[in-house]
Amino acid sequence: MRRKLIKQGIGALTITLPKEWISQYNLEAGDEIEIEENNKNLLLIAEGKSGTLTKTEINIDGMDQFLIWRYLISLYRLGYDEITLTFSDINKKYDIKLSSLGSLERKIQMRIIEVIKDIVNRFIGFEIIDQGKYYCILKNLSENSEKEFDNTLRRIFLLLLSMAEESLVGLNKKTKNIRNSVRDIDVNIDKLTDFCLRILNKLGHKKIRKTNSIYAIILLLELIGDEFKRIAFHVSEFSERKKFGHGIISIHGQVNRVLDLLYKLFYKFSKERIVEIYDLDEQMSKKINSLNFNNEEKEILHHLKKIKRHVTDLLQLIIEMEV
């Protein structure tokens, strides 16, 4: 799309904005937009404005519960405000593998409307507003804002730190109920993660050049939460069979320490903290290579090493945002 520069007064040039863009973001004469310089590019940002109501329709015949779940999460994250689901058999039953409450202890079955209601429980601001024999309509009834995004992202970090601490306590004390408490935190992290990704897709980040990096950071935080959840599940399975050694507990503690430093770095960038994180990461690598682990501890170590790699990726993304 090209626009011709128009002379306006002495030394000033103007351009017209695309009509479609103005309509999509409900802009009127007198509204203010943010202009951000990025080398030879100028970014025009309609702050606080989301697009007009976005609708879509999908037929879910032939999908199992897991695929319906994945489709709806994708539509929610992408920013759709109204989703119509169509189907041919309202009484069809689905084997349930995943719930808004997390992984299920035993297999259950749900009818199609129950499946949809269960998934919608994960979507902040969404409700079922209409349903019939062959359809169901989901709609967003809330407004999204940059302030909500900032508060929610910080909440994800804090929940993740709490999850890490719960996991370490469970490993140290061999607590069997660690599985349930960590799973509950993970469910909340997943819910808030979806909400943040949705806001980024609808509004972008307030500093537009950071949008892609922030999006990737949120996805990595969710993946780290999944690894802590898997550690908790292993601890629950192994807790009565064998004690965990000091080595694996020490490594878990260092992983938690690095994660806490990363959280602080995200909100207050400093070269000194980057060096501290890097040094701790190096210490962990040396310790892992110098110790022997039993089979149960190797299961835990596998997930701690994945968290360690995710933290390295997060560190890189944070540096890229700030330099």
Choose one of 79, 110, 140: the last residue of a domain. 140
Q: pLDDT digit string (tens) for 82-135?
A: 999 999 999 999 988 767 665 555 668 889 999 999 999 999 999 999 999 999
Instruction: Indicate whether 104 and 207 sit together in one domain.
Output: no
The verdict on residue 1 lying in a domain is no
pLDDT tens for each residue of 146-199: 788 999 999 999 999 999 999 999 888 766 678 888 988 999 999 999 999 999
Does residue 50 form part of some domain?
no
Is residue 121 a part of any domain in this protein? yes
299 with 260, same domain? yes
160 and 205 housed in the same domain: yes
Tell me whether residue 281 is in a domain.
yes
Rounded Cα–Cα distance for residues 45 and 208 (Å): 8
Sign of CA dihedral 21, 27, 30, 36: negative
Cβ(186)–Cβ(164) under 8 Å?
A: no
Same domain, 61 and 35: no
Closest CA to 83 of 59, 48, 107: 59
Claim to verify: residue 29 and residue 73 sit in the same structural domain: no
Residues 132 and 160 grouped into a single domain = no
CATH of the domain at 77: 3.30.110
User: Are both 191 and 269 inside the same structural domain?
Assistant: yes
Residue 97 forms part of a structural domain: yes
pLDDT in tens, 215-250: 999 999 999 999 999 999 888 887 555 678 899 999
Same domain for 192 and 226, yes or no, is yes
Percent of the chain whose pLDDT exceeds 90: 60
End position of a domain, from candidates 122, 140, 158 = 140
Q: Which residues pair with 45 in a beta bridge?
A: 34
Q: 89 is written with which tokens?
A: 């058999």
Same domain, 174 and 212: yes
Say if residue 111 is in the same domain as residue 136. yes
Query: Using the 8-state DSSP alphabet, how is residue 134 labeled?
Result: S
For residue 163, what is the domain's CATH number? Answer: 1.20.58.220
As beta bridge partners, residue 82 has: 55, 139
pTM: 0.83
Give me the number of domains the chain comprises: 3
Of residues 11 and 314, the one with the higher pLDDT is 314
Beta-ladder partners of 41: 38
The verdict on 13 and 76 lying in the same domain is: no
Residues 106 and 153 in one domain: no
3-state class of 308 per DSSP?
helix
Nearest residue to 101 via CA among 179, 161, 218, 177: 179
| Domain of 96, in residue numbers | 55-140
- Specify burial of residue 303 (Cβ count, 10 A radius: 0-12, 13-18, 19+): buried
